[in-house]
Amino acid sequence: MDPILALVILVVAISLAFDYTNGFHDAANAIATSVATRALTPKVALLMAACMNFVGALLGTGVAETIGSGIVEVSPSDGVSGLLVVIAGLIGAVTWNLVTWWLGLPSSSSHALIGGLAGAGLVASFSVHWAVIGTKVIIPMFLSPFVGFALAFLTMSIIRRLFQHAAHKSTMKKFRVAQTISAAAIALGHGLQDAQKTMGVIVIALIAGGYHQGTTIPLWVKLAAAGAISLGTYSGGWRIMKTLGTKIADLNPAQGFAAETVAASVLYTTAFIWHAPISTTHTITSSVMGVGATTRRSAVRWSTAGNIVGAWFITFPAAGLVAAAFSLLLHLFV
């Protein structure tokens, strides 16, 4: 077999493996609050999230095109070297995903992937588009949690005022039903955002191998990425689900609905308008903090939140360092 083709196949396989780990790592994003408030059973929630992930992955390509052409400059002339950069970037991202999953920390698979690609490209002397990373990764990385927190706090405050005289039991029952819709909305947004990142990486590999031109996403790439993230989501992410659903704040159905609705809105806005690969993890976690803070300040477990925020800050450089080390090794021995 042609070595270039073999490496392209390897990149596709590792990309889909990353997509799968992204699914089970981030399954909690879509369903933890709904399971915690008992709006959905875990099994039903996972099946719903997997289906909506698949549909969401097919709804757009803006984020995929940002990843495919805006992070690392790779061309057919780079051949083996370009493919090794992509492989090293993926290894860095997968490694960080597994570490944070084991620790039960809801870190960002998106930033792990982008940090991995940047780190691998940097040590291999490839052109890294820092301006794009700054405007479409770093700035949204800092802004989206603040936006999620503020909008969730505001939304929940409005809900409290609107339903302050309503019967508590019947109101919570209605919000449990509403959470079915909001959980589906955020699962759709997760597929829209995160599956596209894998599509972008596969396109980079196809371009480096000389099997594709331009930034358009082939249909088979869309279907493969959608399927991988859906299977990963259905396999669950129970460690992170417990952290996100119960360890940050104790939520009622109204709060769960508000957090999910706000997070989904942020995901759609950034994907369709900004084409920015933001973190679903950051967005839903900050939204949970926002709705929790409307009860009282002590309702949010700030120590747990602090650990999560710490993981957010080190994800990009940590994945980048792992990827850089693998990039050096691969370029030395391959």
75-109 tens-digit pLDDT: 766 678 888 988 999 999 888 878 877 877 667 77
How far is it, in rounded angstroms, from Cα 32 to Cα 294?
19
127: its two tokens: 């052109």
What does the angle CA 54 – CA 252 – CA 183 come to, to the nearest 5 degrees?
A: 10
pLDDT at 159: 94
How far is it, in rounded angstroms, from Cα 261 to Cα 155?
9
Q: Which DSSP state fits 136?
A: I
pLDDT at 32: 74
Give first-to-last CA distance, the chain, whole Å: 16
pLDDT at 302: 66
3-class SS at 127?
coil
How far is it, in rounded angstroms, from Cα 132 to Cα 189?
22
Number of neighbours of residue 334 by Cβ within 10 angstroms: 12
pLDDT at 37: 76
Interval 267-285: pLDDT, tens = 888 887 877 777 777 788 8
Do residues 275 and 62 make contact, with C-beta atoms less than 8 angstroms apart?
A: yes
pLDDT at 217: 87
Q: What is the mean pLDDT of residues 124-139?
A: 83
Of 98-112, 134-148, 310-324, the poorest mean pLDDT is in 98-112
Interval 201-225: pLDDT, tens = 898 888 888 888 877 889 999 999 9
In the chain, what are the domain boundaries? 3-332
Q: What is the mean pLDDT of residues 110-135?
A: 86
How far is it, in rounded angstroms, from Cα 241 to Cα 91?
24
Higher pLDDT, 139 or 325: 325
Sign of CA dihedral 232, 234, 240, 244: positive
| Helix (H), strand (E) at residue 30 | helix 3-36
Higher pLDDT, 276 or 121: 121
pLDDT at 236 over 70: no
Q: pTM value?
A: 0.80
How far is it, in rounded angstroms, from Cα 116 to Cα 315?
10
List of residues 6+ apart from 248 with CB closer than 8 A = 285, 288, 289, 292, 300, 301, 304, 305, 308
How far is it, in rounded angstroms, from Cα 189 to Cα 195?
10
How far is it, in rounded angstroms, from Cα 315 to Cα 108?
7
Of 168, 95, 167, the closest CA to residue 324 belongs to 95
3-class SS at 41?
coil
Interval 283-301: pLDDT, tens = 888 888 888 888 876 666 6
Of 82, 122, 93, the closest CA to residue 207 belongs to 82
Do residues 126 and 89 make contact, with C-beta atoms less than 8 angstroms apart?
A: no
pLDDT band (50, 70, 90) for residue 247: low
pLDDT at 268: 87
How far is it, in rounded angstroms, from Cα 198 to Cα 251?
32
Mean pLDDT score of the chain, rounded to an integer?
82
pLDDT band (50, 70, 90) for residue 240: low
